[in-house]
Amino acid sequence: MIVLLEEKVRFMVEKIANITPENTQEVWTRSVPEDAVLDVRDLRKVYAGNIEAVKGINFYVREGEFFGFLGPNGAGKSTTIKILITLLARTSGTATILGHDVNEESTLVRRLIGYAAQEASPDDDLTGQENLNIQGNLYHIEPTVLKSRIEELIELMDLQDAANRRVGTYSGGMRKRLDLASALIHRPRILFLDEPTTGLDPQNRAGLWKYLERLNKQEGLTIFLTTHYMEEADKLCERLAIIDGGKIIAEGSPTELKAHLGGDVITLSFKDNGTSPEFQATRVQEVLRDQAFVRSTTVNAEKNLTVVVENGSEAIPLVMRLLDHEGLVVASLSLTSPSLDDVFLKYTGTRIRQDDPVAYTPGGARGPWARRRR
């Protein structure tokens, strides 16, 4: 007993001694608030071939919070959410929802959560109301309670006029709203959304944001959102974690994360004039990086130079004079306030690629409920 205790103490001492600024995510030292409904500690997922998709991440989500997981495709967002909704086993670490381990108590966890996937998957041959009825029956909801809940969700999602129409006639935005209603049928404590607006045009995307805000603000629903859309994370999320390469690289409210940059953002682009844009950007970076009014400089993957300054309107004339003195030419210059894209650029050196919307085609991609009956 004493030997085991000594071993445990020695392990903790070594763990603490090895903490550095580079591996602070490895050791969860932050206290988790009492109202946390999701608690993730040192979560890892390694696939066959020793492919490490999630690398020891730590975070929590409070009750009633709209929490975002922001990162590019392949960052580990979908792997993380699949572990949390019990569809994928973790390699190590812990993840609990309302105190219940997602691996050990998966059946109970599934009753506490709702999930809407990237691809909406209602049955096209059934009406919206029939789809919701099937979903409710899967949760063994008492018929009179289910009838009332379906009516409530149809009204909440503004589907009254389409409730008795075949889903095959729905637009992409309507299908997403129906899919969201399906995820809410059993009154979950936490709603997980994996890239919910991917493929929607800007108008339908903004429309879905309205429904999500209503669920969070008016219904008090805790929402966990994964997205690679900067504007979406900025508008919806009270707090978010930025993930890249399987690691959480920054965490906080959108306002806090942008404030860490400070000042304004000047972006300079260059044309190939016999000298590569990358070389020009690096040369300009050398000229500007030590100036008192410059806070940081980054050459991104597009070979543009991003310069964070204290006061943009005052800095631009100074920048142009310095470049003119060095005989350096800029193709274009823009001045903006800090964005989440700039935050991501600061920590990774790249920007998140924004996918173009994909129009929904009836009878196209079909989910498990959408198989044709013969």
Pairing of strands 36-47, 51-62: antiparallel
Angstrom distances, CA of residue 313 to CA of 75, 268, 316: 36, 15, 6
Band the pLDDT of 118: cuts 50, 70, 90. confident
Q: Report the distance separating Cα 342 and Cα 352, nearest Å.
A: 10
Mean pLDDT of 138-153: 95
φ and ψ at 80, to 5 degrees?
A: -60, -50
Domains and their CATH numbers in the chain: 26-258 (3.40.50.300), 264-336 (3.30.70.100)
- What is residue 242's predicted lDDT score, i.e. its pLDDT? 93
- What is residue 29's predicted lDDT score, i.e. its pLDDT? 54
pLDDT digits (tens, 9 = 90+) for 94-113: 999 999 999 999 999 999 99
- Per-range mean pLDDT, top range of 117-121, 225-229, 299-303, 336-340: 225-229
- What is residue 353's predicted lDDT score, i.e. its pLDDT? 58
What's the whole-model pTM score?
A: 0.76
- Per-range mean pLDDT, top range of 17-26, 132-141, 344-353: 132-141
pLDDT digits (tens, 9 = 90+) for 6-27: 443 343 334 334 433 344 444 4
Pairing of strands 66-70, 239-244: parallel
Q: Report the distance separating Cα 94 and Cα 3, nearest Å.
A: 26
- What is residue 371's predicted lDDT score, i.e. its pLDDT? 40
* In the block, residue with structure tokens 């997205």: 227
Mean pLDDT of 69-87: 93
Sheet holding 294-299, edge to edge: 294-299, 305-309, 264-269, 332-336
Q: Report the distance separating Cα 297 and Cα 290, nearest Å.
A: 10
Q: Report the distance separating Cα 143 and Cα 81, nearest Å.
A: 31
Pairing of strands 36-47, 190-194: unpaired
